[in-house]
Structure formats: C-alpha cells, structure tokens
A = this chain, B = another copy of it.
C-alpha cells in the first residue's frame, strides 16, 4: 500500500480544525463550510479544502460539511478516535507540567504511569497517578499496554530511558531532553526543543534585515 506524504503543516492544521469543530459542535451548529472554518481559525478557505482533500471527499457541494461527521473524520485521521496509553518518564517541573496538562486527556492521551529515579518523588501522587521507581518501568509499562512514551528527563539519562520504552513496545516517543536520540526506524520520535520556539520569534523580529 502506497503511503502518501502528508505535510506536517497539514497535520497541525487538521488538529486546529478539529478543535474549532469541537467548539462549533458545542454551540449546536449542524453544518459548516470551508469558508466558516477558515474564518474561525485564520487560514484561507482554499487551504482548508486542500488540507481535507488529502483524505478524500467529505462535504456535499452546496450544503457544506456536517460538523459532527467532519470532526469525527479528522479525529480518526489524527488517530484520536481511540484513547492512547501514555507513560511519562521524569517527574520534575516539566514532567509535572505535562502530567497536569489538560489538553492531553481531552485529546485522548491518558497518562497511565509516571516514573522517576528520585526516591523523594517516588510514591507521591500526581493527579490520580502514583510516581513509580524507574525499575518498574518494564513491568508496569507492559501491563498498561503503553503506546506512547514521554521523555522529560535530563539529557544524560534520555537514551537509556528510550531504549527501555522501546523494549516495552511503545510505538511513539515525545522527547523533551535536549539530545539526539537513536531509535529504530519503525518508532516515531518527535523532539520538542522549547528554545527553538523563541528562536523562530527572534528570527522573525529581525527578519527585515534580509
């Protein structure tokens, strides 16, 4: 089966469209159009149509899109029509922020386990999840059928954690440690570097120089 290459920018916009459609649906609105969606999220109607066209025909000409159907379609495209079992490694400030981030649960990312190597953190509760020692990652991670690992540990510890996550069968890893990680080709890895976000800003502030 041929895999279409979908631009990442399209995927990110689909995510934005789906949030917008959730809001529209909550307001009780039944049908919408690419123009309405475009206005709601701040892109052009042509962009909305192009993004959706990667995945087939959704709307009805002259009628538009059914809000609930389109939302469900997009969630299915994003892999969000099911819940994902997520394991968080690292219960420092960033780990705490991530584990209490409402946006994850809303989108079906359920943090089922949290691990840390610090004995002072082990046993504490974050929301309704108890922080476990790293030694239990393999056993508990498998029990919870963990599909996604979030790495929020110092750079020096990250590769070892990633190797363990792969051993328990995760399909995807979101890495916040500022280090280049080695993973097999079938594992989806995404690195988040918070400083890069500021650098895009400062580049844009100074962009008139070029």
Point out the residues of chain B lying under 8 angstroms from A4, CB to CB. Answer: 210
Give chain B residues whose Cβ lies under 8 Å from the Cβ of A129. none
Chain B residues with CB below 8 A from A193, complex form: 15, 103
Residue of B1, B84, B107, B199 near A11 (CB, 8 A) is: B199
Q: CB-CB < 8 A to A109: which residues of B?
A: 195, 198
Contact at A172–B103, with CB atoms within 8 Å? Answer: no
Q: By the criterion CB–CB under 8 Å, are B3 and A207 in contact? A: yes
Would A203 and B103 count as touching, CB distance under 8 A?
Answer: no
Residues of B within 8 Å of A210, CB to CB, are 3-4, 6, 54-55, 77
Binding site for B on A (CB under 8 A): 1, 3-4, 6, 8, 11-12, 14-15, 41-42, 54-55, 77-80, 84, 86, 92-94, 96-98, 100-104, 106-107, 109, 147-148, 171-174, 178, 180, 188, 190, 192-208, 210
Extra A-B contacts (20), CB below 8 Å, given A3-B210, A103-B195, A192-B197: A6-B210, A11-B199, A11-B200, A12-B196, A14-B203, A15-B193, A15-B200, A79-B202, A79-B205, A92-B97, A93-B96, A98-B194, A103-B178, A106-B195, A107-B198, A172-B201, A172-B202, A174-B201, A188-B201, A188-B204
